Amino acid sequence: MDLRAELLKSIWYAFTALDVEKSGKVSKSQLKVLSHNLYTVLCIPHDPVALEEHFRDDDDGPVSSQGYMPYLNKYILDKVEEGAFVKENFDELCWTLTAKKNYKPDRNGNSVVSHQDAFKLWCLFNFLSEDKYPLIMVPDEVEYLLKKICTAMNVELNSCELDDYLAQEPQGQGGLTVWQFLDMVNSGRFLRGMEQEAISMAVEEVYQEVIEDGYLWKKGQLRRNWSERWFMLKPSALSYYMSEERKEKKGSITLDKHCCVEVLPDRDGKRCMFCVKTSSRTYEMSASDTRQRQEWTLAIQTAIRLQAEGKKSLHKDLKQKRREQREQREQRKAAKEEETQRLRQLQEEKERKLQELELLKEAQRQAEILLQEEEQRRRQQHEEMQRTLEIQLREAEQARASMQAEMVLKEAEAEQQRKRILELEDMQERLQEALQQEVKARQDEEAVRYAQARLLAEEEEKLKQLMKLKEEQEEYIIKTQREKQVLKQEMENKNKCLEEAQKQLEEVRVNRQRVDQDVMVAQRKLRQASTNVKHWNVQMNRLMHPIGPGDKRTNVSGGVFAGYQPLLSRRDSSLK
């Protein structure tokens, strides 16, 4: 059980004590006070901002234990450091809260244990209780604790009386609560005749043994003087303080597997001496008596052994072993009960089978009687059946003869049926052939229809192309006719120009004759006239025939009409 689990047990009692209505919820103001006190006793720096933020007044209603746990874990338990606080003060705070509500000693002062002893028993109860809520102590742990207390007082516990008491006491979830346990101790039933002081000493001794702390004398290293210190034993270290309040820690002895404990002889006025040897130093200590020295040496040796084995505490280890033994006993008990139940079932099964066997024997006897009666009846029936069979045999012979005659007729009918079947089969084959031919013809017809559709589609496509060509041809013809009209107009214009040119040529000829006659007289005019004629011919040829690439120039001396022949031939070819 780790430190967090130990603290949670005490805090659980404080929380339930604040739950006045037993509804599982506590008011926020009370939780604020409880948290503030926990900060104080656990020596944790106060965080009022987180406290006010978590328990602000705008939240609805009181807080349950599940609602308080996140704050408790985050702001309190996660910050707790082992050895930084006095656990006894923490337990006293939680005991004060819960005892005020739940602990009810005898009002007349006849309680067996004092209030302080009840607190220590409450601490022992928390240490030995089960790790589940609500906290209970199983009967084995109750007996163990009472035996420890009785052993400390040198008395023997009456186990039978304890078993009777536990059998009569109502137990919730298989054990006693701490208040039932304290009531049982205060009843004096098991500590009858013992003084309160002796009981208090026994409780103190058991408490110190389980908590593992107490006063010892320690010899200093430098000054070599003896000082009384409060020692606290843990599996990993033996710490010592100025007093049992553990406010001022003076030092710590680290325990490991290399440490050892030795008993020393009495010297320097000190008795019951022993020492703890570590790898670096030897610590000398003195106990108050031989028994206390033996307890301390044994406890320190056990702590060293547990440290070497990786365990936490002797009493925690013993508690875990007792728990495992209880679980093993319960398992064996459950197995034994299961075996007993199985044997009982087998016995019942055996008795049931014996009863069934008796019933079977009785049924067998009745079956034999019925079998004899059945045999006699069967014999009678056999005789009657034999007579009946003889009669039926004669009738069968007669029926056989009639059946043979019918068989002959049936065979003839069967032969006719076979012939008919052959004919039908032949007809079926012919029908199948005709059907196949029809199917083939239909397939051919489908193929022809497909080809015809394809040809029609091609023909339609070609027709569209032809119509398109026809439209293009008509457009071309219209265009050609327009060009022809234009050319005809040009021909007419050119013919007019030609006629005018011919007239001018005639005039030139006339002039030429006139000039020839007057050549001797006016040579200068003749040359001028010839030059004009040549120039006119060149201009006419240029107008009638545009000069193209590669065209040869027409000889002027060829006459005026020589330039018109190629032009007329090209016009005729374009018109064609």
Q: What is the pLDDT of residues 138-148, one digit of tens each?
A: 877 878 778 87
Q: What is the pLDDT of residues 248-267, one digit of tens each?
A: 888 888 888 888 889 888 88
Strand partners, 249: 241
Domain enclosing residue 3, as ranges: 1-102
Residue 513 has pLDDT above 50, yes or no: yes
Q: Which amino acid, residue 34?
A: L
Residue 239 has pLDDT above 80, yes or no: yes
Q: Using N-to-C axis directions, what is the helix angle for 178-186 and 115-128, rounded to 10°?
A: 130
Which has the closest alpha carbon to 15: 419, 314, 7, 525?
A: 7
Averaged pLDDT of the chain = 79
Which of 14-18, 63-67, 328-332, 372-376 bottoms out in mean pLDDT, i.e. has the lowest? Answer: 63-67
CB count in 10 Å sphere of residue 534: 12
**What type of residue sits at position 293?**
R
Please check the confidence at residue 77 and state whether its pLDDT lies above 60: yes
Q: Which residue has the higher pLDDT, 390 or 187?
A: 390
Q: Is the peptide bond before 45 cis (omega within 30 degrees of 0)?
A: no
Per-residue pLDDT at 62: 62
Report if residue 25 sits inside a domain: yes
- If DSSP codes are grouped into helix, strand and coil, which group holds residue 215? strand
What length is written for the chain? 576
C-alpha 125/C-alpha 137 separation (Å) is 7
- The answer to the question of residue 205 being in a domain is no
Q: How far apart are CA 224 and CA 284, in angstroms?
A: 10
Give the pLDDT confidence score for residue 546 in this predicted structure. 56
Most confident of 74-88, 475-489, 521-535: 475-489
d(CA 536, CA 248) in angstroms, rounded, equals 149
Looking at the domain assignment, is residue 69 inside a domain? Answer: yes
Residue 262: partners with Cβ closer than 8 Å, 6 or more residues away: 274, 275, 277
Question: How large is the average pLDDT for residues 354-367?
Answer: 90
Q: Which residues contact 313 (CB under 8 A, 6 or more apart)?
A: 212, 234, 235, 303, 306
Instruction: State the average pLDDT over residues 469-489.
Output: 89
Whole-number pLDDT of residue 215: 59
Per the structure, the count of domains in the chain is 1
Q: Is residue 230 part of a domain?
A: no
Instruction: Check residue 186 and give its pLDDT.
Output: 79
With 70 as the cut, is the pLDDT of residue 465 above it? yes
Find the range with the poorest average confidence among 21-25, 404-408, 471-475.
21-25
Position 289 confidence tier, pLDDT thresholds 50, 70, 90: confident
Q: Does 562 score more than 50 pLDDT?
A: no
In a domain, 73, yes or no: yes
**CA–CA gap between residue 507 and residue 529 (Å, rounded):** 12
The tokens for 438 are 């029809």
CA–centroid distance for 116 within its chain: 54
Read off the pTM. 0.48
Does 282 map to a domain? Answer: no
**pLDDT greater than 50 at residue 178:** yes
Least confident of 21-35, 99-113, 365-379: 99-113
Q: Is residue 355 part of a domain?
A: no
Decide if 28 is inside a domain: yes
Give the 3-state secondary structure of residue 313.
Answer: coil
> Do 11 and 97 touch, CB atoms closer than 8 A?
no
Predicted local confidence at residue 554, as pLDDT: 45
pLDDT at 90 over 60: yes
Identify the weakest region by mean pLDDT among 236-250, 425-439, 483-497. 236-250
